[in-house]
Structure 1
Amino acid sequence: MTSILPDAARQFIEAAIVAGDMALPFHYPQPGQWEGWQSGFRHHGITGESLVGTAPGEWQPGWYVVALNGFGDPFFIDLNQEAKGFPVYYAPHGAGRWEAEQAAPSLQQLGDMLAVLRGLEDDATAAQHVVEAEASLGTRLWREVLENRQNRADTAKEPAFPPDTTAWQHGTLVICGIGPQKMKVVQFLKQTFGLSPQEALALAMQPEIAVAEGYLVHLRRSQDHLQALGATVEFRPHGPRA
């Protein structure tokens, strides 16, 4: 289902502020790409199957991604919270469940914080004052940001770490070998493609299995999960970086 991009979200992604911290928003969609950026979060990249659920740890119905950090972790809003100014949430991928924490009380406040932090470079003390005034120091996100800034301040200044350009290659995630934990991979295929146990087992016997298609940054969660199950997984780019 297509959702209208709220004005506040449009302004945030069009500003596309990069503060220089890999843990903070680093990649933004173009307004016309907003729906496509939900692939891998709200729906499966190949089957289109919904990944939305209401149970704890699932991607909730109102959540929409507005940015990714330099590691491919999502920053997102809940479309049902417009009256609150759209609080911004963050959750690392690859954990097998989504553990959301509030990154900022609103899109406007996060944008303002990013703009200020961008100008502070490695002034760790000033950065801490900004975060203390606008967000919670108790979150893992802001602890990581401040720790990294303090580490940079304690050592010689280094060039800004470039974004991972390979993350924006479009391609297909392929299982080349299901590994020793065969039944766990079969269960993954059953749930991913909505197959019967017999169909999933037959699919697992294939020499290669196309799991999902999309940008690598959106497929890493599935890649990490399959590798944790012992499967051999390859990402095969379709062409030049988008």
Structure 2
Amino acid sequence: MAATEFLDTPQGRRLAYHKSGGTGPTVVFLGGLKSDMEGTKAVHLEAWCRARGQSCLRFDYSGHGESSGRFEDGCIGDWHEDAVAAVAALTEGPLIPVGSSMGGWQALLLARVMPERIAGMVTIAAAPDFTEDGYWASFTDEQKTALETVGHVELPSDYMEPYVITRRMIEDGRRRLVLREPLDLPFPVRFLQGTADTAVSTETALRLLEHAQGDDMRLLLVKDADHRFSDGPCLGLIEEAILDVMGAR
């Protein structure tokens, strides 16, 4: 496997990435919260793209994986800046963002700032606005007070060690919400969602489908698939969705 490369961003962060060449459009994998570019989906998609001769970019947000910074210091806006910097510096031409969980929110934010470059989009258990609708909405009065006084709270995770959620993450998230204003997606979009997902509900997927505007949007609910969405059949569905938005099926 090729060695990890690094990009210094305009914000002074150092991002780890892998970029494989080939023809466009470039598949850009946008990982989830506290995930990294060595996850099953990211590595699989790079190998799949390489076999097809298609360009692919996977990278670590700041505070994730091999990139600089601490997770606890980051927020949705920082990771959005990371995604924009990586795409601007490392890719040319049309893009297909493939966003997983928080990466689904990042894909929507990316489309908002550079819609002219998006050829199609695939999301997997997309979690737009989760800092507000998931975290803040479920916080107890004690947790909200802790955010104000201590500056953070710790939340358990079904998939890894507890998340440290900071006041900055909540406040910044409110400036990045995409479900409170028009969300235009003028390109083919495929939303993938497992019905056994305990982190992102099917109701969230349906809300996103109903809220977004576009002429070619579909939601695929996969019975009994969980939040990881990374077994063989699910990986095959991601491949099919990419081909679908590319018009290659």
What TM-score, normalized to structure 1?
0.28
Larger strand proportion of the pair? 2
